Amino acid sequence: MCVIVTGGAGFIGSNFVLDWLAASDEKVVTLDALTYAGNLENLASLQGDARHVFVAGSIGDGELVARLLDEHQPRAVINFAAESHVDRSIHGPEDFIQTNIVGTFRLLEAVRAYFGKLPADRQAAFRFLHVSTDEVYGSLEKDAPAFNENNRYEPNSPYSASKAASDHLVRAYDHTYGLPVLTTNCSNNYGPYHFPEKLIPLVIHNALAGKSLPIYGDGMQIRDWLYVKDHCAAIRRVLEAGRLGETYNVGGWNEKANIEVVNTLCSILDELSPRQDGESYRTQITYVKDRPGHDRRYAIDASKLERELGWRPLETFETGIRKTVQWYLDNQSWVANVTSGAYREWLGKQYGA
């Protein structure tokens, strides 16, 4: 028995691989193109583990994917592979089109060919699980109900538009070709191994480095925060028992304004790693020009996942964010290794700092 995990050296993918092998002896083949956010150091604890095979490559390489499928004969493919940062999609949308749309298409084509050759019993057991985002639904008004699986797609950035397109492709391969698919749409994740361009790891990294903590606009953009290991548990549950062709929203039931998240991080850092001058990290907060088309609010209604499959997050925002800060304090060498010169150039371009 075996599963293939694409994008398995990235933030959510690597947490999924690590958690999977902590709970199971089933072999995992990890495929990752190792772009800026893919990091083999995330999987360093698996070095020498016979249950894990790493392959450097892209989901857009149809011949490579076909070869891996034929060689390893997986019972499932879990697709995390994606360009995922809205800011980067604004500056360079083509990478998002190529990976998230063209790459997903080529992956689906390879999986469709593999699935077609399986005997009936293995076809019945096979699953293709596609991991997506709540951003495909667009932006919510302050008092509007949270997104559920029946919300219309209204993507507002090149990133979310490319993910919406990939979701539609996955749906089409179910309805047209009978590929047994499952889709999950998650809210904002946080936790270990998060590349420090996103809000939470960026604030932790900059705070400890004595740099400014850049906040877009008024900081009142609201997101639903989901601890990454809770997300991984949800994906495992959907893979195990989800109804074929269905979409499941995965959320943390934790709506927070960005400035509230930053203030919480500053308070925890003030406690766990206080500044030498005795001042609060809040003094480093700086407001910067809002990004174009910034969605005001996301919120996920995950009641379908709870009702059908019995999943709820184990972590509250308060417990999960404390674990996250502690992980970054304990793993500053990991942060130092990923914050390369290219990363610093990106920060200067994005935030003017």
pLDDT band at 339 (very low <50, low <70, confident <90, very high): confident
Which residue do the tokens 């998650």 mark? 186
From residue 124, how far is each of 91, 110, 128, 340 by CA, in Å?
A: 43, 18, 12, 46
**Cβ-based neighbour number of residue 275 at 10 Å:** 15
Cross-strand pairs, 222: 257, 297
DSSP class of residue 143 equals T
| Structural domain contains residue 71 | yes
| Structural domain contains residue 201 | no
| Structural domain contains residue 325 | no
Which residue do the tokens 């590929």 mark? 179
Which residue do the tokens 């994005």 mark? 350
Distance between CA atoms of 259 and 108, rounded to whole angstroms?
Answer: 40
Q: Is the pLDDT assigned to residue 197 strictly greater than 90?
A: no
150: containing domain: 2-194+226-252+297-316
pLDDT band at 342 (very low <50, low <70, confident <90, very high): low
Residue 129 · residue 61 · CB < 8 Å? no
The confidence score (pLDDT) of residue 86 equals 75
Q: Collapsing DSSP states into helix, strand and coil, what is residue 290?
A: coil
* Catalytically annotated residues: 134-135, 159
Best CA proximity match to 189, nearest among 222, 223, 225, 159? 225
The confidence score (pLDDT) of residue 340 equals 67
- Alpha helix (H) ranges present in 149-215? 158-177, 199-208
> HSE (CB half, 13 Å, CA atoms) of 313?
26
The confidence score (pLDDT) of residue 343 equals 44
| Structural domain contains residue 91 | yes
The residue among 345 and 261 whose pLDDT is bigger is 261
| Structural domain contains residue 352 | no
Instruction: Return the structure tokens found at 110.
Output: 């390879």
pLDDT band at 348 (very low <50, low <70, confident <90, very high): low
- What's the longest Cα–Cα distance across the chain? 68
From residue 305, how far is each of 13, 149, 188, 316 by CA, in Å?
A: 20, 10, 17, 17
The confidence score (pLDDT) of residue 229 equals 98
Burial of 1 (0-12, 13-18, 19+ CB in 10 A): exposed
Q: Please tell me the pTM assigned to this model.
A: 0.93
| Structural domain contains residue 349 | no
Per-residue pLDDT, averaged over 317-321, amounts to 98
| Structural domain contains residue 331 | no
Best CA proximity match to 6, nearest among 35, 49, 47? 35
pLDDT band at 353 (very low <50, low <70, confident <90, very high): very low
Q: Residues 6 or more apart from 195 whose CB is under 8 A from it?
A: 10, 11, 36, 37, 39, 201, 338
| Structural domain contains residue 119 | yes
The residue among 84 and 81 whose pLDDT is bigger is 81
Distance between CA atoms of 99 and 165, rounded to whole angstroms?
Answer: 11
305-323 exposure pattern, b = at least 16 Cβ within 10 A, e = fewer: beeeeebebebebeebbbe
Residues of the chain by 3-state class (helix, strand, coil), percent to 5? 50, 15, 35
Pairing of strands 213-216, 247-250: unpaired
> HSE (CB half, 13 Å, CA atoms) of 104?
30
Report the run of H or E that residue 169 belongs to, with start and end.
Answer: helix 158-177
The pLDDT tens digits of the residues spanning 91-123 come to: 889 999 999 999 999 999 999 999 999 999 999
Vertex 14 angle, CA 9 and 19, to 5°: 155
**Amino acid (1-letter code) at residue 32:** D
**Amino acid (1-letter code) at residue 265:** L
Instruction: Quote the number of domains for the chain.
Output: 1
Q: Domain with 183 in it: what CATH number?
A: 3.40.50.720
The confidence score (pLDDT) of residue 198 equals 86
pLDDT band at 293 (very low <50, low <70, confident <90, very high): confident
Instruction: Return the structure tokens found at 147.
Output: 């997104």
